[in-house]
Structures are given as C-alpha cells and as structure tokens.
Amino acid sequence: MSLKHGLLGLLNYGSMTGYELDKAFKDSLNFFWQAQTSQIYRELNAMEKLGWLTSEVIFQTNKPNKKQYSITPVGRSELKNWLNKDIPDNEFQIRSVFLMKLFFSGERSFDESVIMLKNYKNNCMDAMASLYGTNSLIELYQPYVDKTHKAVYWKLTADFGKSYFKMCLDWADRTIKTLEESL
Amino acid sequence: MSLKHGLLGLLNYGSMTGYELDKAFKDSLNFFWQAQTSQIYRELNAMEKLGWLTSEVIFQTNKPNKKQYSITPVGRSELKNWLNKDIPDNEFQIRSVFLMKLFFSGERSFDESVIMLKNYKNNCMDAMASLYGTNSLIELYQPYVDKTHKAVYWKLTADFGKSYFKMCLDWADRTIKTLEESL
DNA sequence: TGGGTCATGTAACCTGTTACATGATTAG
DNA sequence: CTAATCATGTAACAGGTTACATGACCCA
C-alpha cells in the first residue's frame, strides 16, 4: 500500500486536488514510484472512505469545478505509522524484465543481445539526464514544504538514482566487452 | 507478461512439473523476478490454454501423481518473439518503498531515518551474500542447459546484482554521513 | 511424533494498466 | 485552427498477494 502513503505524504504538505496531486506526484515521487492518473483518483476515493482524507468541492467559473482533498488527523497518524514500520524484505527485491531477457539470451544471437544492451544504455542515460533536472524542481517546490531541510531527503533519493544509473552504465559497458571477448 | 516468459524459458531447457519449475525458478530467476507457487500453477494453466505448453500426467506410487509440462513449437516461437521485442521504457523504472520512505523522512526523527538506512544496509549485505552463492547453483544447473555457454548470461545477471548491491551500500554510507553532518 | 519433502491447487482480494469519455478555455 | 491545460472520472482486464486445503511418505 505505498501509493496511498505517497499521496498521504504529499497531502501532508498541503491540501490539493486530484489534478494537482497527479502533477506533484509526477514531479517528485515518479522516479521511484509510478501511478496512472486514473489510479490516483481511485485511491483518493478509497482513502476518503478510510477516513484519511476529507474533500471539499470548490466551484469555479470558466473552469471545471474541482475537489480539494485535505489530510485528517487519522491520515497523519497513518503516515507516521507507515514511516516507522519495518519494510518487509521482499520490498528490496529487484524486478527487471531486462535482466530476465539477458538471462535467456543464450537463445538468440550475440548481435541481438548487444543491441539490447545498447538500448539499455540509452535508457539509463535518459533517466540520468532527467534526474539532473530534478534540482530545479526541488527549488520550485521548496516553498511549499514548510521546513526547508526536508528537501535534503529529496536530494538523497535523487542521488540514489544518479548512482544507480551510473552503476548500470558501467556494468553494461563491462558486459558488452565480456560478450565481445567470449566470441 | 514476464512470468509466463520466464517459465517458458525454463521449460525450453527441458520438460518439468509445476513443482520442479517452482524450485528452478526460485534457484535462478528469483533474484530479478518473484512469483508465488500458486501463481506459477495458475500461469501454467493459462499457458496451456494459449497452446504454449502441453501437459502429461505421470502416475506414481508412494508419491502424489504429477503433471509434466513441455514447451510446444508455438511456445518456442513465442519465447523468441518476446526476446527480440523491444522493452517498453517504463520497464526500466525503479519502484522502491524504501526510497519513498526516505523521501518523506523529514516527517520523522533523524534517528529513525538512520535506523532505516542501517536496516537497508543489512538487507543489501544479505542479498549480496546470496548472490555469491549462485556460482555453485550455476554449476549445479549447467548440465541441464544444453549449450554450456548459456551459463555466461546467468553470470552476467548475477554480476549486475553484485554491482547493484555494492552501489547501494556505498550510497547508504554516504547518505548516513550526509545526515550526520546536517545535524 | 513432529517436521520436511513431494505435489497441486482454489478463492478472494489488492494493485496496476489500458482504453475510453467529456468539454470548456486559452495561447500560439 | 489546433494543441495544451484544466478537471474528473468509469470499466474492464491483467497480474500479483495472501490465506487456505489436502494428504502421504520419510527421517530423526
């Protein structure tokens, strides 16, 4: 149940509509968690039923009406609880279609494997580039987060990403060499 | 649809029962893909309906009967097809409850964050240790894989894991230091 | 006599994905 | 005129998780 808690964490910074949450989510948590817009709306409904949120309809002229969600005390204590609960071991596991394909690459040609690895490198480079762009996002959102030092944690997650993709690129280079030498 | 293809890949090495597949899966693919036993049985049924597999009941005395699955030509071509199909971009994304908690760690104390990071390090060390154990598994399974060089790809995926967990440990050390200095 | 191995599942549930629907306003 | 932004969803499906069920054999 992490998507719910991610939304809870964002609403803890301030009340927002589903639409705004969707954008905030995609600007911040998206690098380590993904969610479809439709899923966000569904979860917000469920969370309201759980009593974690309340909603208020805001009428607008010239624009569609909107529904603003606010975190409740119950929601806030749920967030703290979740934060301090141990993460189960299986949450640390890797899930990678890419590695699964590599595992079975004995079933195809050397060239096809190398093409996949080169595509992989391109993906990593793109992901890394977008992480270097988060610095400006962090500054953009900083005023909305009450205590400034909280942004430190955002930066730490971004650092993880940078280290991760760098490691992937290095590994891919070594792997391509290993394959070339095994010919 | 990667679990189906993982099972297909294993059955491509030789016919097996659900029970044997479950064990082979957990000995090999488990580091980058996870599946419950019940899910494996369910998927085998679905794959048979798709015509990717055939099954044959083997009667046994003193032991429960078993059902052996064999890959069909359709299944084999599905496997090759899947291997050479491009991996969609979203398959490269990270999903990490751990990073989500770190992101929101401004909501809790410094000590609690550090405890989480130390737990994380322990998890990484365990995972790394179990990867160093795969070498013997690779040798164990090698006779079952027709062409010996296929084990190269298994080793490459294990190398990824080792690099990954090493990177995680280094990052966690740096992160703990950063947090200590920010006090 | 208790726990591990062998062997196969069902049912309910939760989460995530894909496709679709609507419709006004505003900036280039 | 056309694309983006604002704003909220529903429905169907796919995939993964959890809990439960059964029962014999074998070894310590």
Q: Which percentage of chain B shows pLDDT scores above 70?
A: 98
Tokens of A167: 């490691």
> Cβ separation of B106 and A167 shorter than 8 Å?
no
Nucleotides of strand C within 7 Å of the protein's CB atoms = 6-11, 14-20, 23-26
Phi-psi region of B55 (alpha: psi -120 to 50; beta: other; left: phi over 0): beta
**Closest residue (CA to C1') to nucleotide C7 in the complex:** B64
- Among the partner-chain residues B6, B107, B145, the one whose CB lies closest to the CB of A83 is B107
pLDDT of residue A16: 96
Is any atom of strand C within 7 angstroms of residue A38's beta carbon?
A: yes
Nearest C-alpha neighbor of B176 from the set B96, B110, B97, B122: B110
Q: Which residue has the tokens 């994304």?
A: B93
- Among the partner-chain residues B96, B103, B123, the one whose CB lies closest to the CB of A153 is B103
- Among the partner-chain residues A93, A107, A153, the one whose CB lies closest to the CB of B83 is A107
pLDDT of residue A135: 79
pLDDT of residue B150: 76
User: Got the DSSP string for chain B?
Assistant: -HHHHHHHHHHHH--EEHHHHHHHHHHHGGGT----HHHHHHHHHHHHHHTSEEEEEE--SSS--EEEEEE-HHHHHHHHHHHHSPPPGGGG----HHHHHHHTGGGS-HHHHHHHHHHHHHHHHHHHHHHHTHHHHHHHHGGGSSSGGGHHHHHHHHHHHHHHHHHHHHHHHHHHHHHHHT-
> Cβ separation of B157 and A99 shorter than 8 Å?
yes
> Cβ separation of A33 and B100 shorter than 8 Å?
yes
Strands ordered across the beta sheet of A66-71: A16-17, A66-71, A53-58
pLDDT of residue A138: 78
B154 vs chain A: nearest CA distance in angstroms?
Answer: 5
A85 vs chain B: nearest CA distance in angstroms?
Answer: 10
Statement: residue B146 has pLDDT above 70? no
Q: Which residue has the higher pLDDT, A137 or B18?
A: B18
Statement: residue B139 has pLDDT above 80? no
* Dist. CA B23–CA A62, nearest whole Å: 61
In the 3-class helix/strand/coil scheme, how is chain A assigned residue by residue?
A: CHHHHHHHHHHHHCCEEHHHHHHHHHHHHHHCCCCCHHHHHHHHHHHHHCCCEEEEEECCCCCCCEEEEEECHHHHHHHHHHHHCCCCHHHHCCCCHHHHHHHCHHHCCHHHHHHHHHHHHHHHHHHHHHHHCHHHHHHHHHHHCCCHHHHHHHHHHHHHHHHHHHHHHHHHHHHHHHHHHCC
* Dist. CA B44–CA B174, nearest whole Å: 45
Q: Is A2 an 8 Å CB contact of chain B? A: yes
Residue of A nearest to B156 (CA): A175
pLDDT of residue B148: 60
* Dist. CA B162–CA B181, nearest whole Å: 29
A66 vs chain B: nearest CA distance in angstroms?
Answer: 27
Cα torsion B151, A171, A105, A111: sign: negative
Tokens of B180: 């200590």
- For B115-130, what is each residue's pLDDT tens digit? 999 999 999 999 999 9
> Cβ separation of B98 and A87 shorter than 8 Å?
yes
- Kindly give, in sequence order, each residue whose CB lies less than 8 Å from that of residue A55, ignoring residues fewer than 6 positions away: A44, A48, A67, A68, A69, A70
pLDDT of residue B147: 62
Tokens of A88: 């189960």
Query: Residues whose CB falls within 7 A of nucleic chain D?
Result: A 17-20, 22-23, 37-38, 41-42, 44-45, 60, 63-67, 90; B 1-3, 34-36, 38-39, 42, 62-64
| Residues in chain A, pLDDT under 50 | none
Confidence of residue B182 (pLDDT cuts 50, 70, 90): confident
- For A62-109, what is each residue's pLDDT tens digit? 888 899 999 999 999 999 999 999 999 999 999 999 999 999 999 999
**Closest residue (CA to C1') to nucleotide D11 in the complex:** A38
Which residues in chain B have their CB less than 8 angstroms from residue A124's CB?
A: 92
Mean confidence (pLDDT) of chain B: 93
Instruction: Give the CA A35 to C1' C21 distance in Å.
Output: 20
> Cβ separation of B100 and A149 shorter than 8 Å?
no
pLDDT of residue A148: 60
pLDDT of residue A183: 77
**Which positions 44-83 on chain A have a beta carbon less than 7 angstroms from any atom of strand C?**
46, 62-64
Instruction: Give the CA A164 to C1' D28 distance in Å.
Output: 48
pLDDT of residue B71: 98
pLDDT of residue A139: 77
Instruction: Give the CA A64 to C1' D6 distance in Å.
Output: 7
pLDDT of residue A50: 96
Cα torsion B99, B101, B106, B111: sign: negative
- For B66-124, what is each residue's pLDDT tens digit? 999 999 999 999 999 999 999 999 999 999 999 999 999 999 999 999 999 999 999 99
